[in-house]
């Protein structure tokens, strides 16, 4: 059985007091055993959040990680640094990092490799832009993002890979992919994995949907056969909404 996962990406929101308040509110609610719940707070608060969640099923993950082991990379964080504060997973390739910080399919392969070498679990993010969908290139674009950004890394350890399909046109816009659009793409993604790595890996890999997931649309999205949970932006900033989404699985 594939893992059901709901992950909150807080992006660059909330100061330390607000972050801790949100964390406590999420922690105070029971987490259904069948769901793996993750949050990605701002980097600055990872350490104290990791401490505050020790022994609790809520998992704290990073929003990003550098490909290099160490060195002159001002402002960046390494795999070793994450591991040293008990952070075992990171998002990679979020569309905002691709759009504003020049991350490309090619540069992502280096990050994937480093994460894999360090046993850091990856939530690999990808998805087409509106123009791609309008010109009916969305499958092609997604296939390329997977092929170049992820599949090309040698000897992938799929135990440490979660996929997050996030169509850029649905992120922060209030416009969600319809459950049918999400299912169609998720089935395509699974078929791509199956072609390259076989049925067992394809069946075992969790594929999350991200882009304007809300309590009002989560149940229908999550009920699709190939949608194994969600990566939540805006709605993860309110405990009540986030918990409602967690319970929608």
Candidate ranges 145-153, 195-203, 227-235, 239-247; the one touching ligand 13P (CB under 6 A): 227-235
When asked if residue 167 is in the footprint of ligand 13P (CB under 6 A), the reply is no
When asked if residue 210 is in the footprint of ligand 13P (CB under 6 A), the reply is yes
Identify residues 11-70 at the interface with ligand 13P (CB under 6 A): none
User: Based on CB atoms, which residue is closest to ligand 13P, 94 or 190?
Assistant: 94
Candidate ranges 46-54, 75-83, 126-134, 204-212; the one touching ligand 13P (CB under 6 A): 204-212
184 has catalytic annotation = no
- Which of 22, 115, 146, 231 binds ligand 13P (CB under 6 A)? It is 231
CA distance 114 to 208: 22
| Residue 213, C-beta contacts closer than 8 angstroms, at least 6 positions apart | 176, 221, 230, 231, 232, 235, 245
Candidate ranges 25-33, 141-149, 220-228, 231-239; the one touching ligand 13P (CB under 6 A): 231-239
Instruction: Classify 200 as helix, strand or coil.
Output: helix
When asked if residue 211 is in the footprint of ligand 13P (CB under 6 A), the reply is yes
User: Based on CB atoms, which residue is closest to ligand 13P, 64 or 202?
Assistant: 64
Which of 44, 48, 37 lies closest to 64, judged by CA?
44
**Catalytic residue selected from 103, 121, 128, 166:** 166
Instruction: Classify 28 as helix, strand or coil.
Output: coil
94 has catalytic annotation = yes
When asked if residue 249 is in the footprint of ligand 13P (CB under 6 A), the reply is no
Cβ–Cβ under 8 Å, residues 109 and 152: yes
CA angle, 233 then 234 then 238, to 5°: 115
Report residue 208 as tokens. 């999350």
- Which of 46, 115, 141, 213 binds ligand 13P (CB under 6 A)? It is 213
Which of 112, 18, 10 lies closest to 65, judged by CA?
112
Total Cβ atoms within 10 A of residue 174 = 9
Phi, psi dihedral angles at 9 (to 5 degrees):
-105, 105
Using Cβ positions, the residue closest to ligand 13P within the complex turns out to be 233
Question: Binding marks (x or -) toward ligand 13P, 60..99, rule CB under 6 A?
Answer: ----------------------------------x-----
Cα dihedral: 109, 114, 115, 118 (round 10)? 160
Total Cβ atoms within 10 A of residue 144 = 14
Residues forming the active site: 94, 166
- Where do contacts with ligand 13P occur on this chain (CB under 6 A)? 9, 94, 166, 171-172, 210-213, 231-235
């Amino acid at each position: 059985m594939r893992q059901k996962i709901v992950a909150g990406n807080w992006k660059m929101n909330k100061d330390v007091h607000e972050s801790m308040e949100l964390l406590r509110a999420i922690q105070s609610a029971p987490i259904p055993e069948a769901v793996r719940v993750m949050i990605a707070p701002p980097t600055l608060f990872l350490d104290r959040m990791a401490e505050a969640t020790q022994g609790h099923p809520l998992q704290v993950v990073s929003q990003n990680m550098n490909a290099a082991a160490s060195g002159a990379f001002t402002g960046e964080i390494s795999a070793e640094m994450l591991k040293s504060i008990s952070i075992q997973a990171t998002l990679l390739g979020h569309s905002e990092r691709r759009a504003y910080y020049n991350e490309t399919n090619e540069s992502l392969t280096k990050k994937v490799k480093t994460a894999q070498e360090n046993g850091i679990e990856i939530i690999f993010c990808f998805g087409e832009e509106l123009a791609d969908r309008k010109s009916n290139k969305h499958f092609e674009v997604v296939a390329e993002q997977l092929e170049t950004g992820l599949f090309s890394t040698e000897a992938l350890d799929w135990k440490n890979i979660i996929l997050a399909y996030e169509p850029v046109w649905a992120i922060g816009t209030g416009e969600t992919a319809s459950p049918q659009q999400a299912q169609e793409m998720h089935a395509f993604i699974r078929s791509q994995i199956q072609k390259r790595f076989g049925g067992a890996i394809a069946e075992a890999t969790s594929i999350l949907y991200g882009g304007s997931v809300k309590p009002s649309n989560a149940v229908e999205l999550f009920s699709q056969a190939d949608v194994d949970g969600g990566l939540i932006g805006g709605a993860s900033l309110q405990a009540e909404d986030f918990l409602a989404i967690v319970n929608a699985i």
